[in-house]
Structures are given as C-alpha cells and as structure tokens.
C-alpha cells in the first residue's frame, strides 16, 4: 500500500550544527507534504509545508526540499538548538487525510 517512510529512525547532532532529516514517500499522486515536530506528551506541531509544484521552501531556520523524481523529502534545520530535540514526522496529503511516516528522533547534544 501507499506509505511514507523515513531512512533514519534516530539522528544525533551537536548543538549549533545543521540537521537533515530525510523521508521517502511512495504515492506519486500526492501533491502536498508537511513536516511536523512532536515533543513528548504533545500533539504534532506544524513546521513547514510544500506543494508538489515547488522543490524548495524556506522558513525560519528550516528548509524543506522536495525531489519528485525520486520521491524524496527532506527537512533541514539550521543551527540546531536543544529545543529542537523531538520526533519529526513527514506526512503526505492523500485526499483529505494525512499519511504519516514512522518518525525520526532528533537528539541535540550540548
């Protein structure tokens, strides 16, 4: 079936370094992708999104890249901070529902 998956389940980075979290998706018909951050005991928090007619979108300290040729999505976090430690999910919009990947744990070492 259709699915969204992640290459790396856990990522450890040094404070101040850049982080890159990757995601592969399988539904080539998806036209909307979102990155969410989830801290322990909280609901997913919207980070950034991108439409399929774009290949890059930037926010504050975050950049999302979309490569439709290989069905790959990535989230780049600049100057990673301890507060960035969380689980990160990519999700694709299938119809009106989001299909989430399993998540990547980001650990920031001080």
Partner 1 sequence: GAGVSQSPRYKVAKRGQDVALRCDPISGHVSLFWYQQALGQGPEFLTYFQNEAQLDKSGLPSDRFFAERPEGSVSTLKIQRTQQEDSAVYLCASSSPGASGRFTDTQYFGPGTRLTVL
3-state secondary structure of 31: coil
| H or E segment to which residue 21 belongs | strand 19-25
**For partner 1, the closer CB: 40 or 110:** 40
Q: How far is the CB of 109 from partner 1 (least distance, A)?
A: 22
Q: How far is the CB of 110 from partner 1 (least distance, A)?
A: 25
Q: How far is the CB of 15 from partner 1 (least distance, A)?
A: 25
With vertex at residue 22, the alpha carbon angle to CA 18 and CA 59, rounded to the nearest 5 degrees, is 55
> What is the rounded radius of gyration, in angstroms, for the C-alpha atoms of the chain?
13
**For partner 1, the closer CB: 79 or 102:** 102
Residues within the interface to partner 1 (CB under 8 A): 32, 34, 36, 41-46, 49, 51, 89, 91, 93, 95-103
**For partner 1, the closer CB: 36 or 80:** 36
| Distance between CA atoms of residues 101 and 56, nearest Å | 20
With vertex at residue 24, the alpha carbon angle to CA 18 and CA 27, rounded to the nearest 5 degrees, is 145
Q: How far is the CB of 97 from partner 1 (least distance, A)?
A: 4
Q: Which two tokens stand for residue 51?
A: 């439409």
**For partner 1, the closer CB: 48 or 108:** 48
């Amino acid at each position: 079936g259709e699915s969204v998956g992640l290459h790396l389940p856990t990522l450890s980075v040094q404070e101040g370094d850049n982080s890159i979290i990757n995601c592969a998706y399988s539904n080539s018909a998806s036209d909307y992708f979102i990155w969410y951050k989830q801290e322990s005991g909280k609901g997913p928090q919207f980070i950034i999104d991108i439409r399929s007619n774009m290949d890059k979108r930037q926010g504050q300290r975050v950049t999302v890249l979309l490569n439709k040729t290989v069905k790959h999505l990535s989230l780049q976090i600049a100057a990673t901070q301890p507060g960035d430690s969380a689980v990160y999910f990519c999700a694709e919009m299938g119809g009106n529902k989001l299909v989430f990947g399993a998540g990547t744990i980001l650990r920031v070492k001080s």
